[in-house]
Chains A and B, each alone.
Chain A
């Protein structure tokens, strides 16, 4: 019961963008086929074409040797292709059962017949789902299982998974992979889209690489290395986060002195933190998520209030200043969640350029905004920081994660800051954009900025920082020299195993 799907010469244009051209891909029956590529390489568009959400402008899709054209997902479902979207397609206020049978009511009805069938599939693959549970009560991993079950319920033989691991924690990824292996053992094929190379090497039988809208090669996961794949994806030598000469001065730009932050319930989130960042220095903060990194950044930015202690910026007390005042004093801030804090997704880029700088030229003139100035400067950022976008009138939402992040970095480096706070600057960003962002951090350091870098990527921390501080349960528990330390040492310190 397996199908063989082949895509040949697929092309798709959107106004101003060529999303896909001459894409060819063959999925062998009963295998996990990985499609890898940077953000914006055209993977998601290709999948939407294969699933009938959008029509292709050119090229052919054939299933088991026969040419097919899909006008809607219904047609794709009919030949046995099912898709799990990156952003789940579930209605929160409906039950698991309702979400699953929707659109496939004819198969087993919407009552007990469907219930039995769902329980059956759920039991066979160890999903552990209850048909009558409301979806809004489920966690992310369970929602993903609902999505997969939805596809299986329709008898799909090829399951497309669009970046399925992006939202999962490592244990959940393992569980997903064991689910996938069982599916393949059962005769299904899986098309696995990702840019996480470790995972791809762990699960795939075949690998196809996409770059700039087209397929650029295939690889055998048994022989390929992460490094080779990454170079195929980027199309050039892989960057590394190494920094060169020391530029650290003895001028303190940011100093925290005995800062304590408590939450609404009176518990300490940060306890007695003292820290100094000098001009030309990158201070890395390492820690397992939830140990106070977020609070540390937010208290400096004035988004949280310190319960006690003192924060100074270039000698000036900023402990009680508002976020706007702190920013006006020359702090650039790359937030950890760019959708919640960094951008208004439905604003065009040039309006996003104004945000956070609404009191400083060139985006204001006297008491009024200066759209012309904002446009010009947004154009400058797009060029200098290599933001790939059709134009500055494009909404931020339309950009890929890496380009959004490059735009934010560009904006935050505007207006001559003296301190840059970067929280997970390369999270969810593809390899190319990652290298660019590293370059900008290095450039900032060279220009004499102090940089506070919070990251979960230990290679990034070790490569970029002049000094690494480990935060554990709200306290700074150790200082490391990045030229001496290994990721293993840091990992041990972060979990409280041993401190240097």
Chain B
């Protein structure tokens, strides 16, 4: 009996996910038509969103690797920073491929420091991670000044003029989708805009990022390597009694985590922009961590979270985005109202009322103004992060031994 219920539960979850995704697309489309803010879903906007989402996704996946093995990696930001420098340095001297590898290696070194501190010496994960972030920022400033100041196209805090990964446009699909998107039809145009955005001037690094998301899901859930790694995050003592080398798996997880964050840094210096500056990450490591929590420590969830945060991030980077963020207010209000109704039906009255009040506030703001002042639009991704995490953090299930110290021989 239990096996079939587990199966049917999985089926219900999948069904619900599809329905929710469809409903979200329809709502976005409806809001676009009601507000007349067509730029909400043009191919350009969505391409920008995808580009903004990738570094967040890489950081989120990095966090996922570490936390699934029970190590909180709040040092993602610092590892990303190291990655930005590594990408610029190696790409400048040895080409874009070396840049990508160099960024991963720099991030991996950051991960190694974190792993030595937390796994071998049992330092508190948060303290080690915060230290790593500070070290990362300082080290990148120092390295940039030492190595980039004298280069042509370089300065004490920046570098440009290095090769970036090639892009490719998928002919046929890209043009067709683009012309459909230009019609501004309900739903159809929004979906084709997404297709067009994802097939035009697509960087190799974007493809690599999405492939890494798939690889993560496969490696962690479909292989015995992944099972062992996850067991270290759920109950390392149990894993130890079954002959799993817990230290080894934790090390591997944190190293992979650092490498992913480093790649996230490479994405920022090589795809999001074509120049390096110190402190380029701007908190994306933390947003990546937020997307991992929002995604309930699962790759598909991390992807969803990263796309959502990326969208907000992308919009905040567009020029003249006052009316756009204004239209976003209506969208947020609609989503929050839907969530409130859902909570009300689940019997959580207090939550429902609080969410409904916030939704009404957004509605009032929407109807009493015509644009959001530019001082606020840059805050969009951070405000959305805050909201989503506070709303979504109620039914999350983190790995049971996440962040807990583990010593060999403590079983039984």
Question: Which A residues lie at the B interface, using CB under 8 A?
Answer: 44, 47-48, 51, 53-54, 72-74, 77, 83, 85-87, 89-94, 98-99, 101-106, 109-110, 130-134, 137, 150, 162
Other-chain contact of B242, A92, A103, A131 (Cβ < 8 Å): A103
List the A side residues contacting B171 at CB < 8 Å.
none
Other-chain contact of A132, B3, B237, B242, B411 (Cβ < 8 Å): B3
**4 additional A-B residue pairs with CB within 8 Å, beyond A89-B242, A91-B239:** A48-B411, A93-B400, A94-B231, A104-B242
Other-chain contact of B228, A102, A109, A133 (Cβ < 8 Å): A102
Q: In the bound complex, do residue B224 and residue A93 qualify as a contact, i.e. CB atoms below 8 Å apart?
A: no
The CA-CA distance from A110 to B7 in the complex, in Å, is 18
Scoring B residues 203 to 238 as 1 if CB is less than 8 Å from chain A, else 0, what string do you get?
000000000000000000001100110110011011
Q: For residue A119, which residue of chain B has the nearest CB?
A: B3
Answer whether A73 and B224 are a contact pair too, CB < 8 Å, given A53-B409, A53-B412, A54-B409: no
Which of the listed residues A47, A109, A133 has the most CB atoms from chain B within 10 Å of its own CB?
A133
State whether the Cβ of B248 lies closer than 8 Å to any Cβ in chain A: no
Output the least CB separation between A154 and chain B (Å). Answer: 8
The CA-CA distance from A48 to B235 in the complex, in Å, is 18
Answer whether A89 and B238 are a contact pair too, CB < 8 Å, given A53-B411, A77-B243, A98-B227: yes
List the B side residues contacting A85 at CB < 8 Å.
241, 411-412
Q: In the bound complex, do residue A103 and residue B397 qualify as a contact, i.e. CB atoms below 8 Å apart?
A: no
Q: In the bound complex, do residue A131 and residue B411 qualify as a contact, i.e. CB atoms below 8 Å apart?
A: no
Q: In the bound complex, do residue B3 and residue A133 qualify as a contact, i.e. CB atoms below 8 Å apart?
A: yes
State whether the Cβ of B25 lies closer than 8 Å to any Cβ in chain A: no
Output the least CB separation between A43 and chain B (Å). Answer: 12
Which of the listed residues B3, B7, B227 has the most CB atoms from chain A within 10 Å of its own CB?
B227
Q: Which 8 A-B pairs rank lowest in CB-CB distance, beginning with the nearest?
A: A103-B242, A105-B224, A74-B243, A91-B234, A89-B238, A91-B235, A130-B2, A103-B243
Is chain B's binding surface mostly helix, strand, loop or mixed?
helix
Q: For residue A109, which residue of chain B has the nearest CB?
A: B224
List the B side residues contacting A134 at CB < 8 Å.
6
Output the least CB separation between B253 and chain A (Å). Answer: 16
Answer whether A102 and B411 are a contact pair too, CB < 8 Å, given A91-B400, A92-B400, A131-B3: no
Q: List 29 A-B contacts (CB under 8 A).
A: A44-B412, A48-B411, A72-B243, A73-B240, A73-B241, A73-B242, A77-B243, A83-B241, A86-B412, A91-B231, A91-B239, A91-B400, A92-B234, A93-B234, A93-B399, A94-B227, A94-B234, A98-B227, A98-B231, A102-B227, A102-B228, A102-B231, A102-B238, A106-B224, A110-B224, A110-B227, A130-B6, A132-B6, A133-B3
The CA-CA distance from A44 to B6 in the complex, in Å, is 37
Answer whether A103 and B244 are a contact pair too, CB < 8 Å, given A92-B400, A110-B227, A133-B2: yes
The CA-CA distance from A93 to B401 in the complex, in Å, is 11
Q: For residue B410, which residue of chain A has the nearest CB?
A: A53
Answer whether A89 and B241 are a contact pair too, CB < 8 Å, given A53-B409, A53-B411: yes
The CA-CA distance from A99 to B227 in the complex, in Å, is 9
The CA-CA distance from A343 to B243 in the complex, in Å, is 33
Which of the listed residues B230, B234, B243 has the most CB atoms from chain A within 10 Å of its own CB?
B243
Output the least CB separation between A449 and chain B (Å). Answer: 40
Other-chain contact of B227, A48, A87, A101 (Cβ < 8 Å): A101
Q: In the bound complex, do residue A102 and residue B400 qualify as a contact, i.e. CB atoms below 8 Å apart?
A: no
Q: In the bound complex, do residue A101 and residue B224 qualify as a contact, i.e. CB atoms below 8 Å apart?
A: yes
Q: For residue A104, which residue of chain B has the nearest CB?
A: B242
Answer whether A91 and B238 are a contact pair too, CB < 8 Å, given A103-B228, A110-B224: yes
List the A side residues contacting B231 at CB < 8 Å.
91, 94, 98, 102
The CA-CA distance from A44 to B411 in the complex, in Å, is 11
Q: For residue B222, which residue of chain A has the nearest CB?
A: A110
The CA-CA distance from A89 to B240 in the complex, in Å, is 9
The CA-CA distance from A335 to B244 in the complex, in Å, is 39
Q: In the bound complex, do residue A102 and residue B242 qualify as a contact, i.e. CB atoms below 8 Å apart?
A: yes
Q: In the bound complex, do residue A94 and residue B230 qualify as a contact, i.e. CB atoms below 8 Å apart?
A: yes
List the B side residues contacting A73 at CB < 8 Å.
240-243, 411
Q: For residue A84, which residue of chain B has the nearest CB?
A: B241
Q: In the bound complex, do residue B397 and residue A93 qualify as a contact, i.e. CB atoms below 8 Å apart?
A: yes
The CA-CA distance from A77 to B242 in the complex, in Å, is 8
Which of the listed residues B228, B238, B411 has the most CB atoms from chain A within 10 Å of its own CB?
B238
The CA-CA distance from A132 to B241 in the complex, in Å, is 22
List the B side residues contacting A94 at CB < 8 Å.
227, 230-231, 234
List the B side residues contacting A99 at CB < 8 Å.
238
Other-chain contact of A130, B3, B230, B237 (Cβ < 8 Å): B3
Other-chain contact of A102, B237, B239, B409, B412 (Cβ < 8 Å): B239
List the A side residues contacting B234 at CB < 8 Å.
91-94
Q: For residue B228, which residue of chain A has the nearest CB?
A: A102
The CA-CA distance from A74 to B245 in the complex, in Å, is 10
Output the least CB separation between A149 and chain B (Å). Answer: 13
List the B side residues contacting A74 at CB < 8 Å.
243
Output the least CB separation between A395 and chain B (Å). Answer: 14
Scoring B residues 240 to 262 as 1 if CB is less than 8 Å from chain A, else 0, what string do you get?
11111000000000000000000
The CA-CA distance from A162 to B241 in the complex, in Å, is 14
List the A side residues contacting B240 at CB < 8 Å.
53, 73
Q: For residue A75, which residue of chain B has the nearest CB?
A: B243
Q: In the bound complex, do residue B6 and residue A133 qualify as a contact, i.e. CB atoms below 8 Å apart?
A: yes
Output the least CB separation between B223 and chain A (Å). Answer: 8
Output the least CB separation between B315 and chain A (Å). Answer: 36
Which of the listed residues A47, A72, A90, A92 has the most CB atoms from chain B within 10 Å of its own CB?
A72
The CA-CA distance from A44 to B237 in the complex, in Å, is 16
List the A side residues contacting B7 at CB < 8 Å.
132
Output the least CB separation between B42 and chain A (Å). Answer: 42
Output the least CB separation between A337 and chain B (Å). Answer: 22
Q: In the bound complex, do residue A89 and residue B235 qualify as a contact, i.e. CB atoms below 8 Å apart?
A: yes
Which residues of B372-412 are within 8 A (CB) of A?
397, 399-400, 409, 411-412
Other-chain contact of B239, A77, A103, A130 (Cβ < 8 Å): A103
The CA-CA distance from A101 to B400 in the complex, in Å, is 19
The CA-CA distance from A257 to B223 in the complex, in Å, is 65
Q: For residue A114, which residue of chain B has the nearest CB?
A: B224
List the A side residues contacting B3 at CB < 8 Å.
130-133
The CA-CA distance from A133 to B2 in the complex, in Å, is 7
Q: In the bound complex, do residue A102 and residue B244 qualify as a contact, i.e. CB atoms below 8 Å apart?
A: yes
Q: For residue B1, which residue of chain A has the nearest CB?
A: A130
The CA-CA distance from A73 to B241 in the complex, in Å, is 6
Q: For residue B244, which residue of chain A has the nearest CB?
A: A103
Output the least CB separation between B234 and chain A (Å). Answer: 3
Which of the listed residues B230, B231, B412 has the most CB atoms from chain A within 10 Å of its own CB?
B412
List the A side residues contacting B224 at CB < 8 Å.
101, 105-106, 109-110
List the B side residues contacting A162 at CB < 8 Å.
412
Output the least CB separation between B258 and chain A (Å). Answer: 25
Output the least CB separation between B232 and chain A (Å). Answer: 10
Output the least CB separation between A105 and chain B (Å). Answer: 3
Q: For residue A85, which residue of chain B has the nearest CB?
A: B412
Q: For residue B242, which residue of chain A has the nearest CB?
A: A103
The CA-CA distance from A101 to B238 in the complex, in Å, is 12
Q: For residue B230, which residue of chain A has the nearest CB?
A: A94
Which of the listed residues A48, A110, A162 has the most CB atoms from chain B within 10 Å of its own CB?
A110
Q: In the bound complex, do residue B241 and residue A53 qualify as a contact, i.e. CB atoms below 8 Å apart?
A: yes
Output the least CB separation between A48 and chain B (Å). Answer: 5
List the A side residues contacting B409 at CB < 8 Å.
53-54
List the B side residues contacting A102 at CB < 8 Å.
227-228, 231, 238-239, 242, 244
Output the least CB separation between A414 and chain B (Å). Answer: 33
Scoring B residues 1 to 14 as 1 if CB is less than 8 Å from chain A, else 0, what string do you get?
01100110000000
Output the least CB separation between A497 and chain B (Å). Answer: 36
Output the least CB separation between A289 and chain B (Å). Answer: 28
